[in-house]
Amino acid sequence: MAAKELNDMDVCEKIAFKPETEKPFKARIVWFNAIGFLILHLAALYGVFLGFTAITWKTFIWGFFVGYLSTESVTIGAHRMYTHKAFKATFATRLVINFLFTLAGQNCMWVWVRDHRQHHRYSDTVADPHDASQGFFFSHIGWLMYKKHPEVLAKGKHIDMSDIEKDEIVMFQKKYYKTLYVLISIALPTVIPYLCWGEDLFNSFMWSYLARTIITLNGTWCVNSWAHLYGVKPYNTDIYPRESEFVAFISSGEGWHNFHHTFPWDFRAAEFGKHYNFSATVITQLAKWGFVYDLKEAKPEMIKSRILKNGDGTHPKHTQLQKGAEWAPWGSKDAPTSEHASSRRNIVSHG
Ligand SMILES: [Zn+2]
Ligand SMILES: [Zn+2]
């Protein structure tokens, strides 16, 4: 693996928010979306019920398999590669990523990347599409049920998407998104269990498409809500995002969010690479096979100086660092391990 180290934040840097609109904003609910999401969640609950009572074990496993692959396409592809340019990938790899991302059903890649770049640039201000300062519900799903704040619309126009627009696969997916969504996200995962092992078509739709999509969406949304509101801030106390073991577990490694917002271009999206971070393990393996390259990661000295300057004291090595102990980067034999991550939890619960 050829890991490339950066000296400064050159991608998705947070900048000071300056309002562009003058009129006072009155939040307005988009009832079509609000009722739509309510119905989809109720139907997904029924899908989960069918998943545990009516479908075959093959379809049950299939739903998890599709959900897992689509989650990785969001974390590895849409998030770390396209939004943050944490590494590059070959044409074939990008093709697979875009296919699986369409399967995930989280809007087209272009829109996802634009929203997420905006989220980092204006994090937790009114120009952040899912501003966590407005609480859990808004940052989780509420933002999709309200008319967008004028600042979200105004600032969204200035997000640089030139690199994404050079990617022919992303632009193809953007152009034909609705058709591709119906074919790849709805029809394909529903029809395979029906054709291959005779699953009931309705049950397959409810489990392999509906329940699977809504559950994985909620996993992604937890990064925007939970990981911005609950947890510790070992790297930077000036921002909302936190370290959340729970979110890291359910999202394949996107819960180490205080680190991620401090070093957004780091392909691990975490300092403790492999702890509840299967996405980082997959990227490392893909790099060994040559499917991805130019991986970026933060230098240990940069991380250390951030911890000492801005951290909240919950970093597992924080006190030792203050006493002048040696810094052990991830991967070395003295590096912090999952036990350190547990001791970090202990510091919080006992502190
Ligand atoms: Zn965030
Ligand atoms: Zn990010």
Q: What is the DSSP string of 192-236?
A: HHHHHH---HHHHIIIIIIIHHHHHHHHHHHHHTHHHHSSB-SS-
Nearest to residue 64, comparing CAs of 40, 187, 55?
55
- Which of 171, 175, 150 has the alpha carbon at shortest distance from 162? 171
156 within a domain of the structure (yes/no):
yes
Ion ligand 1, residue ranges at CB < 5 A? 241
30 neighbors 146 (Cβ within 8 angstroms) = yes
Domain that holds residue 156: 28-230+290-298
Residue 277 lies in a domain: no
In a domain, 9, yes or no: no
Q: In this structure, is residue 137 part of a structural domain?
A: yes
Query: Which ligand is closest in space to the CA of residue 83?
Result: 2
Q: Over its length of 351 residues, how does the chain's per-residue pLDDT go in tens digits?
A: 444 444 444 445 677 777 777 666 788 999 999 999 999 999 999 999 999 999 999 999 999 999 999 999 999 999 999 999 999 999 999 999 999 999 999 999 999 999 999 999 999 999 999 999 999 999 999 999 999 999 999 999 999 999 999 999 999 999 999 999 999 999 999 999 999 999 999 999 999 999 999 999 999 999 999 999 999 999 999 999 999 999 999 999 999 999 999 999 999 999 976 678 899 999 999 999 999 999 999 998 899 889 989 898 888 876 655 555 555 544 444 444 444 444 333 333 322
How far apart CA 63 and CA 40 sit, in angstroms, is 17
Measured in Å, residue 292 CA sits from the centre of ligand 2 at 19
Structural domain count of the chain: 1
Whether 189 maps to a domain, the answer reads yes
Whether residue 265 lies inside any domain: the answer is no
Of all ligands present, the nearest one to the C-alpha of 131 is: 1
Give the DSSP per-residue string, 184-195. Answer: IIIIHHHHHHHH
- Residue 204 is given by DSSP the state H
Whole-number Å distance, alpha carbon 259 to ligand 2 midpoint, is 10
Residue 311: inside a domain: no
**How far is the centre of ligand 2, averaged over its atoms, from the C-alpha of 145 (Å)?**
22
Which residue, among 23, 239, 265, 271, has the nearest Cα to 255 in the 3D structure?
A: 271
- Quote the ligand 2 centre to 19 CA distance (angstroms): 23
Is 197 inside any structural domain?
yes
CA 234 to centroid of ligand 1, rounded, Å? 15
